[in-house]
């Protein structure tokens, strides 16, 4: 019985780095997609969810606030934002079923560059105020 517990513990310890590497790969992919499509709610939400998994809740909230301004009709984004703001770490990781196919299968719903009314939209990442 003790031998089984020891083997189980050794396996768990051996698999921990692999799980961390997989999470890191997912986070890197989400960051890359976000910077390619900084005005697509799908890209913003995906990065925010990966940041929550990595323990970076503050950054995830900033991104979800931005996504909510860009796409106020996205209930999944608003729900995730409200959950994080209330202190919960339970976010919806399911794809948005509001319109058509998955973002990877579909043409981008918005242009790759900033939309025409970009001055009304928040920048891809908040920058600190310039100091004189």
- Domain coordinates in residue numbering, the chain: 22-89
Q: How many CB atoms within 10 Å of residue 93?
A: 13
Which percentage of the chain shows pLDDT scores above 90? 47
Render the burial of 22-60: b for 16+ CB within 10 Å, e for the rest: eeeeebeebeebbeebbbbbbbbbbbbbbbbbbeebeeb
Q: How far apart are CA 83 and CA 71, in angstroms?
A: 18
20 falls in which pLDDT band (50, 70, 90)? Answer: low
108 falls in which pLDDT band (50, 70, 90)? Answer: very low
pTM over 0.75: no
115 falls in which pLDDT band (50, 70, 90)? Answer: very low
Q: How many CB atoms within 10 Å of residue 10?
A: 10
Hey, which CATH number is domain 22-89, 1.25.40.10, 2.30.30.360, 3.40.50.720, 1.10.3720.10? 1.25.40.10
């Amino acid at each position: 019985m003790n031998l089984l517990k020891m083997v189980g513990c050794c396996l768990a310890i051996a698999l921990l780095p692999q799980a961390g590497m997989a999470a890191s790969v997912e986070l890197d992919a989400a960051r890359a997609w976000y910077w390619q499509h900084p005005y697509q709610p799908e890209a913003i939400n995906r990065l925010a969810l990966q940041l929550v998994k990595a323990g970076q809740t503050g950054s995830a909230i900033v991104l979800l606030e931005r996504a909510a301004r860009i796409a106020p009709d996205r209930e999944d984004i608003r729900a995730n934002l409200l959950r994080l703001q209330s202190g919960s770490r339970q976010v919806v990781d399911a794809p948005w079923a509001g319109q058509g196919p998955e973002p990877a299968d579909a043409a981008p719903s918005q242009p790759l560059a900033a939309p025409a009314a970009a001055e009304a939209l928040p920048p891809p990442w908040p920058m600190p105020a310039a100091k004189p």
